[in-house]
Amino acid sequence: MAVLTIEGGKRLSGEVEIHGAKNSALPILAATFLCNEKCTLQNCPALSDVDASIKILKHLGCKVVREGDQIEIDPTAAHNCTIPDELMREMRSSIVFLGALIAKCGKARISYPGGCELGPRPVDLHILSLQKLGALIDERFGSIRCRRVGRLCGNTINLPLPSVGTTENIILASVTARGITKIHNAAREPEIMDLAGFLNACGAKISGAGDSVITIEGVEKLGGCTHRIISDRIEAATYMAAAAATGGEVLLKKVQPDYVEPVFYAFREAGCELEIGADTILLRAPARLNRIKLIRTQVYPGFPTDAQAPMMAMATVARGTTMFIETIFQNRYRHVDELCRFGANIKVEERVAIVEGVDSLYAAEAQATDLRGGAALVIAALAAHGESKIGNIRHIDRGYAELETDLQALGAHIKRVDY
Ligand code: UD1
């Protein structure tokens, strides 16, 4: 079992290159299963969730070769349409394989997905949407059996909320369906655009990705392509929050600033200077941060829920009171009790968290409760005086590639210790 030990109180300063986006890589890996030729994905982050997707692809019969941040997938010999429980449980986004499986194989059997504990994360919208495309679905004893008679059929789907995973699943299922599919109230996240970009490069006809109405004109079959995954906007926001919490200065490289824009206001309100380049963001923090009046998580282009926990860690050392309202997930404050171990002053009432900034945090032993909550603890430990220990870091490994190396390059005293 590994823990991170962090000797905090060091001002972070230097440069960091942002990796490829986890939330793009996962659905695009699932999408490669639909292809009829080899695909090459570049800028794939080395994350345990990516490992889990590769395991699923291999289990389905794809040949997968990984070299550095490049993954080559040859789906031409894929033959399997079942994903066993132990692979499904490794991550929640395994549910996006359902759309690809039913489209390509005509039948699929999977169990319910695993993933972060952020409150109830049902898959009802995924199921209802696939049914609208003609899939016959039977949910029993924790497993989802799905089949189709003939090709899936395009339809108009009005999502009651712009679910990211559901939008992706509909795209995957409908890309080779008969006729036209329209998704109303689709998720607009950059990762949806990246998925559509990949599929279009393989011969799909998807328009409107990035807007709330997406149109998919079904094609007979997909070829393959070489595609570069976009950079991870949440990793970028996390390093910005880490630098800001230590009064530091960081230059993010290989980043897509437009996608990180929804968090800029919060850093500026906290007193940070930002210089935005074509593919760089320079953040210069003041010695003491100001409070941010309100951080309300919203769907893109609103403030991302995935950046809420890292920003909360930063707000714990600001001067004054910051209010958070989490509107996306019901139970996304599990990091709060752990942050309080460092001396943070946070009160939670349902979806609202009130953070009273303190002068200093102190070293603590804490356990990562989920991926982004784990990143928040790393930030608190970086800002705290003394040596902290963070356990349960398998959560953090799901979403941050080369975390220790990158933070060490910024001057952090952080190491991974195996017990
Ligand atoms: C994706 C991201 C995750 C991010 C989230 C919101 C990936 C791999 N994960 O997760 O990092 O935090 O978007 O930006 O891309 N819901 C239902 N029924 C469903 C599906 C969703 O009620 O069938 C609800 C969820 O419980 C949640 C809300 O919709 O409250 C948003 O979820 P969704 O956008 O689907 O998130 P994910 O795709 O799971």
Task: Kindly report, residue by residue over 185-197, the tens digit of the pLDDT.
Answer: 999 999 999 999 9
Predicted pLDDT of residue 121: 64
Q: Using a 6 Å cutoff on CB, does residue 163 contact ligand 1?
A: yes
Tens of pLDDT along 363-396? 999 999 999 999 999 999 999 999 999 999 999 9
Ligand 1, atom nearest to 123 Cα? 23
114 alpha carbon to ligand 1 midpoint, in Å?
13
Average pLDDT for residues 43-70, to the nearest whole number? 96
pLDDT at 158: 98
Q: What CATH number does the domain containing 65 carry?
A: 3.65.10.10
Going by pLDDT thresholds of 50, 70 and 90, the confidence category of residue 140 is: confident
**199, 171 Cβ separation under 8 angstroms:** yes
- Structural domain containing residue 12: 2-19+231-418
Ligand 1 and 121: CB distance under 6 A: yes
Residue 137's pLDDT is 95
Compute the distance from residue 164 Cα to the ligand 1 centre, in Å. Answer: 6
Let me know whether 198 and 281 are in one domain: no
Q: What pLDDT was estimated at residue 32?
A: 98
Q: What is the percent of the chain with per-residue pLDDT over 90, rounded to a whole number?
A: 91
Side chain identity, residue 289:
L
Choice among 64-68, 108-112, 216-220, 357-361 with the minimum mean pLDDT: 108-112
d(CA 377, CA 371): 10
Contact 142 CB / ligand 1 (< 6 Å): no
Ranking 102-116, 153-167, 236-250, 384-398 by mean pLDDT, the lowest is 102-116
Look at residue 120 in the predicted model and tell me its pLDDT: 59
DSSP at 373: H
Q: Does residue 208 sit in the same domain as residue 238?
A: no
Is the pLDDT reported for residue 115 higher than 60?
A: no
Q: Are 217 and 113 part of one and the same domain?
A: yes
pLDDT of residue 217: 98
Beta pairing partners, 250: 14, 283
Residues comprising the chain, all counted: 419
* 17 contacts 410 by C-beta, under 8 angstroms: no
Tokens of 308: 């809420």
pLDDT higher than threshold 60 for residue 293: yes
Examine the residue annotation and report whether 146 is marked as an active-site residue of this protein: no
- Which atom of ligand 1 is least distant from the CA of 165? 38
Calculate how far, in angstroms, residue 41's C-alpha sits from the geometric centre of ligand 1.
Answer: 24
Supply the Cα-derived Rg of the chain in whole angstroms.
21
The answer to whether the beta carbons of residues 162 and 212 sit under 8 Å apart is yes
| Span 1-35, pLDDT tens digits | 899 999 999 999 999 999 999 999 999 999 999 99
Considering the domain architecture, whether residues 179 and 42 belong to the same structural domain is answered as yes
Tell whether 13 and 88 lie within a shared domain.
no
What's residue 28's pLDDT?
A: 98
CA distance 298 to 14: 31
Give the confidence band of 153 by pLDDT, cuts at 50, 70, 90. Answer: very high
pLDDT at residue number 114: 64
User: Which of 181, 209, 228 is the C-terminal boundary of a domain?
Assistant: 228
Q: Are residues 307 and 251 in the same domain?
A: yes
Residue 156: closest CA among 185, 199, 114? 185
The residue-averaged pLDDT of 200-221 equals 98
Compute the distance between CA of residue 182 and CA of residue 167 in angstroms, rounded to an integer: 11
Q: Is 372 in the pocket of ligand 1 (CB under 6 A)?
A: no
Bridge partners for 14 per DSSP: 250
Q: How far apart are CA 357 and CA 345, in angstroms?
A: 7
Query: From the CB of 164, is ligand 1 less than 6 Å away?
Result: yes
- Compute the distance from residue 147 Cα to the ligand 1 centre, in Å: 24
Ligand 1, atom 12: closest residue by C-alpha:
306
C-alpha 9 – ligand 1 centre gap (Å)? 35
125 lines ligand 1 (CB under 6 A): yes
For residues 203-227, average pLDDT: 98
21 lines ligand 1 (CB under 6 A): no
Nearest CA to ligand 1 atom 25: 121
Is pLDDT of 219 > 90? yes
Label each residue of 167-204 as H, E or C.
HHHHHHHHCCCECEEEEECCCCCHHHHHHHHHHHHCCC
In terms of domains, do 30 and 13 share one?
Answer: no
Q: Which two tokens stand for residue 1?
A: 């079992």
C-alpha 121 – ligand 1 centre gap (Å): 7
Do the beta carbons of residue 389 and residue 3 sit within 8 Å? yes
Output the residue whose Cα is nearest ligand 1's atom 3. Answer: 306
Inform me whether the pLDDT recorded for 409 exceeds 90.
Answer: yes
C-alpha distances (whole Å) from 390 to each of 243, 314, 341 are 19, 17, 11
Is residue 223 within a helix (H) or strand (E), and if so which, with residue range?
A: none
Q: Is the pLDDT of residue 149 over 70?
A: yes
Q: Whose CA is nearest to atom 35 of ligand 1?
A: 163
Sheet containing 226-228, strands listed edge to edge, beginning at the edge strand earlier in sequence: 63-67, 70-74, 39-42, 226-228
- Residues 365 and 256 grouped into a single domain: yes
Shared domain check, 109 and 219:
yes
The last residue of one of the domains, among 228, 254, 289, is 228
| CB of residue 122 inside a 6 A radius of ligand 1 | yes
Same domain, 394 and 250: yes
* Maximum CA extent, the chain: 65
In this structure, what DSSP letter does residue 140 have? E
- Give the orientation angle of helix 22-32 with respect to helix 164-174, to 10 degrees: 20
The preferred substitution site among 26, 132, 161 for testing ligand 1, maximizing ligand atoms within 8 Å of CB, is: 161
Question: Active site residue: 44, 62, 105, 116, which one?
Answer: 116
Of 167, 202, 228, the last residue of a domain is 228
User: Please, what is the average pLDDT of the chain?
Assistant: 96
Please tell me the predicted confidence (pLDDT) of residue 82: 93
* 96 dihedral zone (left: phi>0; alpha: psi -120 to 50; beta): alpha
For residues 115 and 247, membership in a common domain is answered with no
Residue 124 CB less than 6 A away from ligand 1: yes
Cβ–Cβ under 8 Å, residues 190 and 166: no
How many Å lie between the centroid of ligand 1 and the Cα of residue 290? 31
Number of domains comprising the chain? 2
Looking at the structure, do residues 218 and 254 belong to the same domain, yes or no?
no
The pLDDT value recorded for residue 75 is: 97
pLDDT band at 226 (very low <50, low <70, confident <90, very high): very high
Q: Is 305 in the pocket of ligand 1 (CB under 6 A)?
A: yes
For 51, residues 6+ apart whose C-beta sits below 8 A from its C-beta are none
Q: Give the mean model confidence (pLDDT) for residues 75-96.
A: 89
Average pLDDT over residues 85-105: 90
Query: Which residues contact residue 137 at a Cβ distance below 8 angstroms, ignoring those fewer than 6 apart?
Result: 127, 130, 131, 144, 145, 146
